[in-house]
Amino acid sequence: QSFKLLGFLDVQTVPCARESVLYGSLGSLVVGLGHFLATSRVRRSCDFAVGGFISTMLGYWFYCRYNLAQQRIRQRMLKEGMKNRMLFEGSYLDPEKKQTGNERSDS
């Protein structure tokens, strides 16, 4: 059973959605309760809680998606490097192979 936020955002399948909602709700609680304890104004504290939810959720969403993109880039580079290592292993293009004086240097 999946949970859809706002009718279209499937929290179970979309990366970073679940954590964003959880951190947003925690941010909402902290901001709303903190504002209420400071001012004792209920309606204004609820407004701050909604703002805290939105800002915390969006902030963590962008942070998480950025890290996910960086991780995918690193995985793609690692996969390409492993493929190149298998291709060039044992050949003169192998970077780990020591070049001797009689071999031609490309540098």
Over 70: is that where the pLDDT of 40 sits?
A: yes
pLDDT band for 46, please (50, 70, 90 cuts).
very high
Locate the domains of the chain by residue range. 15-85
Confidence (pLDDT) at 36: 95
Output the six-digit token pair for 47.
């407004």
Measured CA to CA, the distance from residue 69 to residue 16 in angstroms comes to 12
Q: What is the pLDDT of residues 52-92, one digit of tens each?
A: 999 999 999 999 999 999 999 999 999 988 887 777 777 77
Output the six-digit token pair for 66.
């950025």
28 neighbors 49 (Cβ within 8 angstroms): yes
Measured CA to CA, the distance from residue 17 to residue 5 in angstroms comes to 9
- For the CA atoms of 38, 40, 42, 43, the dihedral, rounded to the nearest 10 degrees, stands at -70
